[in-house]
Chain A
Amino acid sequence: MAKFEVLAKCHTTRARVSRLTLSHGITPLPTFMPVATQAAIKGLTAQQMESLGVTLILNNTYHLNLRPGVQILGEAGGAHKFQGWHKNLLTDSGGFQLVSLSKFTKITEQGALFESPFTGEPTMLTPEESMSIQHAIGGDIIMQLDDVVSSMTPDRARVEEAMERSVRWLDRCITYHNNSGKQTTQNLFAIVQGGLDSELRDRCLTQMIERKNDVAGFAIGGLSGGEEKDVFWRIVKQCAERLPDDRPRYCMGIGFAEDLLVCVALGVDMADCVFPTRTARFGVALTHRGPVNLRLAKYAYDFEPIDPDCPCPTCSAGTSRAMLYHVITRETAAAHAVTMHNIVFQARVMGGARDAILNGTFPDYLRTFFANYFADFGYPQWCVNALRSVGVDLLEGDSKIKVNKGTGAKWE
Chain B
Amino acid sequence: MLSFTLAAPCARRPRTGTVRLRGVIEKTPAAMATTSRGVVPHLSRDQYNRAHIPWVHIPFESFLENNPPVPTLQPGPFPLHTFLGFDPDAHILSLSLRDPADGRETPANGAQYVAASTSRGVRRVTVADWRGHVHACKPDIVVAMPDIPWTNPPFSQKRTTKSIERTVSWLAHLLAPDPPLNILVHMAGGVNERARRAFAQSLVEPLDGLEAAAVKPLKCLDDGIIGYTFDLVPLRREIDVEDADKVSALLQSSLEPLPPTKLRVVISVVSPHQILRLIRDVGIDLFDVKWAQDAANVGVSLDFVFPVPQDDSQQGRDLGHNLYRSHYAHDFASLSTAACTCNACAPVVIKNAISHSQLDAHIASAPSGYTRAYIHHLLHTHEMGAHALLVLHNLAVVDKFFDGIRAVLARGDDFTAHVAAFAAQYDESLAIVNEARTMWKEVDVARGKGRIARERD
Which positions in A face B, CB cutoff 8 Å? 7, 17, 19, 25-26, 28, 38-48, 50-53, 63, 67-68, 72, 75-76, 81-84, 86-87, 300-301, 303, 311-314, 317-320, 322-323, 326-327, 330-337, 340, 344, 347-348, 350-352, 354-355, 358
Known: A40-B383, A75-B330. A68 touches B357 (CB 8 A): no
Provide the bound-state CA to CA distance between A48 and B385, in Å.
11
Q: Is B154 an interface residue (CB 8 A)?
A: no
Closest beta carbon of chain B to A91's beta carbon, Å: 16
Closest beta carbon of chain B to A84's beta carbon, Å: 5
**What per-residue 1/0 map shows which CB atoms of B337-366 lie under 8 Å from chain A?**
000000110011010111111111111111
Provide the bound-state CA to CA distance between A303 and B82, in Å.
10
Provide the bound-state CA to CA distance between A208 and B427, in Å.
63
Closest beta carbon of chain B to A319's beta carbon, Å: 6
Contact across chains for B85 and A317 when beta carbons are under 8 A apart: yes
Checking B62, B70, B330 against A322 with a beta-carbon cut-off of 8 angstroms, the contacting residue is: B70
Q: List 29 A-B contacts (CB under 8 A).
A: A28-B357, A38-B377, A38-B378, A42-B383, A43-B385, A44-B385, A50-B364, A51-B352, A72-B329, A75-B373, A82-B371, A84-B367, A84-B369, A86-B365, A301-B70, A311-B354, A319-B85, A320-B74, A323-B38, A323-B70, A323-B83, A327-B38, A331-B36, A331-B41, A334-B39, A336-B384, A348-B356, A354-B358, A358-B358
A-B contact count (CB 8 A): 188
Provide the bound-state CA to CA distance between A78 and B84, in Å.
39
Contact across chains for A351 and B329 when beta carbons are under 8 A apart: no
Contact across chains for B385 and A347 when beta carbons are under 8 A apart: no
Q: Which residue of B lies closest to A350 (CB)?
A: B356
Q: Is B380 an interface residue (CB 8 A)?
A: yes
Contact across chains for A326 and B373 when beta carbons are under 8 A apart: no
Contact across chains for A326 and B38 when beta carbons are under 8 A apart: yes
Contact across chains for B37 and A330 when beta carbons are under 8 A apart: yes
**How many B residues touch the partner, as a band?**
35 or more
Closest beta carbon of chain B to A328's beta carbon, Å: 10
Contact across chains for A314 and B45 when beta carbons are under 8 A apart: yes
- Taking CB atoms, residues of chain A closer than 8 Å to B184 are none
Given contacts A331-B36, A336-B47, A351-B356, 9 further A-B contacts (CB under 8 A): A38-B378, A42-B385, A46-B367, A68-B376, A84-B374, A314-B44, A323-B70, A331-B39, A350-B356
Closest beta carbon of chain A to B296's beta carbon, Å: 12
Closest beta carbon of chain B to A28's beta carbon, Å: 4
Contact across chains for B354 and A83 when beta carbons are under 8 A apart: no
Contact across chains for A326 and B385 when beta carbons are under 8 A apart: no
Q: Is B42 an interface residue (CB 8 A)?
A: yes
**What per-residue 1/0 map shows which CB atoms of B29-63 lie under 8 Å from chain A?**
00000001111111111110000000000000011
Q: Is B150 an interface residue (CB 8 A)?
A: no
Q: Is B66 an interface residue (CB 8 A)?
A: yes
Checking B63, B82, B368 against A84 with a beta-carbon cut-off of 8 angstroms, the contacting residue is: B368
Contact across chains for B37 and A45 when beta carbons are under 8 A apart: no
Contact across chains for B359 and A352 when beta carbons are under 8 A apart: no
Known: A337-B45, A355-B358. A53 touches B353 (CB 8 A): yes
Closest beta carbon of chain B to A285's beta carbon, Å: 14
Closest beta carbon of chain A to B255's beta carbon, Å: 36
Closest beta carbon of chain B to A11's beta carbon, Å: 18
Checking A318, A344, A358 against B354 with a beta-carbon cut-off of 8 angstroms, the contacting residue is: A344
Q: Which residue of B lies closest to A81 (CB)?
A: B368
Contact across chains for B357 and A352 when beta carbons are under 8 A apart: yes
Closest beta carbon of chain B to A114's beta carbon, Å: 17
Closest beta carbon of chain B to A145's beta carbon, Å: 23
Contact across chains for B38 and A67 when beta carbons are under 8 A apart: no
Known: A43-B388, A51-B350. A323 touches B84 (CB 8 A): yes
Contact across chains for B360 and A351 when beta carbons are under 8 A apart: yes
- Taking CB atoms, residues of chain A closer than 8 Å to B63 are 326
Provide the bound-state CA to CA distance between A110 and B431, in Å.
50
Contact across chains for A67 and B44 when beta carbons are under 8 A apart: no
Q: Which residue of B lies closest to A313 (CB)?
A: B46
Provide the bound-state CA to CA distance between A52 and B365, in Å.
13
Q: Is B370 an interface residue (CB 8 A)?
A: yes
Contact across chains for A326 and B70 when beta carbons are under 8 A apart: yes
- Taking CB atoms, residues of chain B closer than 8 Å to A300 are 66, 70
Closest beta carbon of chain B to A48's beta carbon, Å: 7
Provide the bound-state CA to CA distance between A384 and B371, in Å.
50
Provide the bound-state CA to CA distance between A333 and B293, in Å.
14
- Taking CB atoms, residues of chain A closer than 8 Å to B383 are 38, 40, 42-43
- Closest 7 pairs (CB-CB, A-B): A351-B356, A86-B365, A53-B354, A351-B357, A28-B359, A354-B357, A336-B44
Q: Is B381 an interface residue (CB 8 A)?
A: yes
Q: Is B333 an interface residue (CB 8 A)?
A: no
Closest beta carbon of chain A to B151's beta carbon, Å: 27
Known: A81-B368, A344-B354, A348-B356. A68 touches B361 (CB 8 A): no
Task: Identify the interface centre among A41, A53, A311: most chain B CB within 10 Å of its CB.
Answer: A53
- Taking CB atoms, residues of chain A closer than 8 Å to B360 are 28, 53, 351
Task: Identify the interface centre among A51, A76, A352: most chain B CB within 10 Å of its CB.
Answer: A51
Provide the bound-state CA to CA distance between A81 and B383, in Å.
18
Contact across chains for B37 and A17 when beta carbons are under 8 A apart: no
Checking B43, B45, B329, B385 against A319 with a beta-carbon cut-off of 8 angstroms, the contacting residue is: B45
Closest beta carbon of chain A to B341's beta carbon, Å: 14
Q: Which residue of B lies closest to A300 (CB)?
A: B66
Contact across chains for A48 and B46 when beta carbons are under 8 A apart: yes
Contact across chains for B373 and A72 when beta carbons are under 8 A apart: yes
Closest beta carbon of chain A to B82's beta carbon, Å: 7
List which B362-405 residues lie within 8 A (CB) of chain A.
Answer: 362-371, 373-374, 376-378, 380-381, 383-385, 387-389
- Taking CB atoms, residues of chain B closer than 8 Å to A82 are 371, 373-374, 377
Q: Is B73 an interface residue (CB 8 A)?
A: yes
Q: Which residue of B lies closest to A26 (CB)?
A: B361
Contact across chains for A47 and B343 when beta carbons are under 8 A apart: yes
**What per-residue 1/0 map shows which CB atoms of B144-171 lie under 8 Å from chain A?**
0000000000000000000000000000
Closest beta carbon of chain A to B53's beta carbon, Å: 15
Contact across chains for B366 and A333 when beta carbons are under 8 A apart: no
Provide the bound-state CA to CA distance between A195 and B417, in Å.
75
Known: A44-B385, A301-B73. A317 touches B43 (CB 8 A): no
List which B153-197 residues lie within 8 A (CB) of chain A.
Answer: none
Contact across chains for A318 and B82 when beta carbons are under 8 A apart: yes
- Taking CB atoms, residues of chain A closer than 8 Å to B330 are 72, 75
Known: A67-B377, A332-B41, A336-B44. A84 touches B354 (CB 8 A): no
Checking B36, B40, B356, B369 against A347 with a beta-carbon cut-off of 8 angstroms, the contacting residue is: B356
- Taking CB atoms, residues of chain B closer than 8 Å to A340 are 44, 46
Contact across chains for A40 and B362 when beta carbons are under 8 A apart: no
- Taking CB atoms, residues of chain B closer than 8 Å to A48 are 44, 46-47
Provide the bound-state CA to CA distance between A381 and B43, in Å.
42
Closest beta carbon of chain B to A159's beta carbon, Å: 28
- Taking CB atoms, residues of chain B closer than 8 Å to A320 are 74, 83
Known: A84-B367, A313-B44. A51 touches B85 (CB 8 A): no
Contact across chains for B354 and A52 when beta carbons are under 8 A apart: yes
